[in-house]
Chains A and B, each alone.
Chain A
Amino acid sequence: MTDQKEMESASHHVVSPKIYVIILFALILGTAATVWASFLELGPWNPVIALAIATGKAMLVVLYFMHVKYSSKLTKLTVFAGIFTFLTLIGMTLADYFSRAWGQW
């Protein structure tokens, strides 16, 4: 039975509140950093940094608050599938918009 393993590994791993506190501080720190970075003059890097920090924060939430770090492979795969389809939608639509600007050919 293939799922036997999945089931066992998914049995609850209780994350200690200490980790939650650390993550909380990291997130608050990230928020401060992203606000601070937005006031710097970084040219094209401004949105990149804003998104990178946001992604970092989201990762912390997903991995620790949402327990994905301690979850089964299936859950990880699910998260990955979501991100992948999301990027497909954005990426392929934007590809059309950007290449429109390249002119006729």
Chain B
Amino acid sequence: MSDSTAIAHDAHAAPDHGHGEAHPTYLRHHFENVEQQADAAGFAMWIFLLTEVMFFGGLFTAYLIYRNWYYPAFVAASHQLSVVWGTTNTAVLIFSSFTMAMGVWCAETRRRKGLVLSLCLTFLLGLVFLGIKTIEYSEKIEKHHVPGFHYNLSSFLDPDNDAAAKAASDKALPLDMARHTEVYFSLYFAMTGMHALHMIIGIAILGYMIFRARAGAYTSGHVTFVENFGLYWHFVDIIWIYLFALLYLISRHQ
């Protein structure tokens, strides 16, 4: 076989793997070059997003099954959500996705100020999203629409006394169907809760990134972290796009 088989038999074989010349400091020792390192990190992020897809996949499956089974309950329960808040939040999140994308662009083109600004905007928009979510949640808590021991059916049995139901001109549900609104709210809280948790984690990382970016961390060519975080943030945005369509917009025309 050929002589090119350069397998190191002994430890003293030419230690030319020097940390000499053009190797930037952020290149970790086990990678051949920066390209490989960035590539591996990006690919790893995508694989991680796959696991996230499957994580939400279980919830979406449950949602689709029960929506089919208990459609009237899902319609009535979704009318309890505010389309205005939902749309605002969707817009906020889309905007934050945009600012995040701009942040990545700034990092790639080495604009430190632009990066810090974009990250700050993303951070703020994330907080706005969570703020609106808090308003929505507290409304549910007030109305006892949180599944569990204190769950209250009156909005669905007696829609005339309920502002949201009246606005949607809902008819009263029979008791057995009204009970199934609890399944809707179970899924609502599980899905939006998991999403909000991802937002909180994202915002925490954003805070750290702003801190580092001000020191010029990501604008010297090593943009992997910003890019990967961008992927995460966009993914969270996509989940919300579906949640909005599925949870808020069931049959608004009735």
Contacts and interface: CB of A to CB of B under 8 A. Distances in A.
Interface of A: 6-7, 10-12, 14-17, 20-21, 23-24, 27-28, 31, 34-35, 38-42, 46-47, 50-51, 53-54, 57-58, 61-62, 64-66, 74-75, 78-79, 81-83, 85-86, 89-90, 93-94, 97
A10 B173 CA distance: 55
A97 to B, nearest CB: 5
A10 B38 CA distance: 9
A12 B42 CA distance: 11
Contacts of A31: 87, 90-91, 94, 244
Interface in B234-254: 234-235, 237-238, 241-242, 244-246, 249-253
B28 to A, nearest CB: 16
B114 to A, nearest CB: 10
Nearest to A87: B57
Contacts of B95: 24
Contacts of B190: none
Q: How large is the interface on B (under 10, 10 to 19, 20 to 34, 35 or more residues)?
A: 35 or more
B247 to A, nearest CB: 11
20 contacts: A6-B39, A14-B108, A15-B101, A20-B98, A24-B95, A34-B249, A41-B253, A50-B246, A54-B241, A61-B238, A65-B237, A66-B230, A66-B231, A74-B43, A82-B54, A85-B50, A85-B53, A90-B64, A93-B61, A94-B61
The SS class assigned to the A binding surface is: helix
B238 A10 contact: no
Given A35-B83, A86-B60, 6 more contacts: A12-B38, A28-B91, A53-B245, A54-B244, A78-B46, A93-B61
Contacts of A38: 83, 249-253
A10 B42 contact: yes
Contacts of B100: 65
B215 to A, nearest CB: 22
A40 B235 CA distance: 29
Given A31-B90, A78-B50, A90 B57 contact: yes
Of B244, B245, B252, most buried by chain A (CB within 10 Å of CB) is: B245
A35 B249 contact: yes
Of A6, A11, A35, A74, most buried by chain B (CB within 10 Å of CB) is: A35
B245 A54 contact: yes
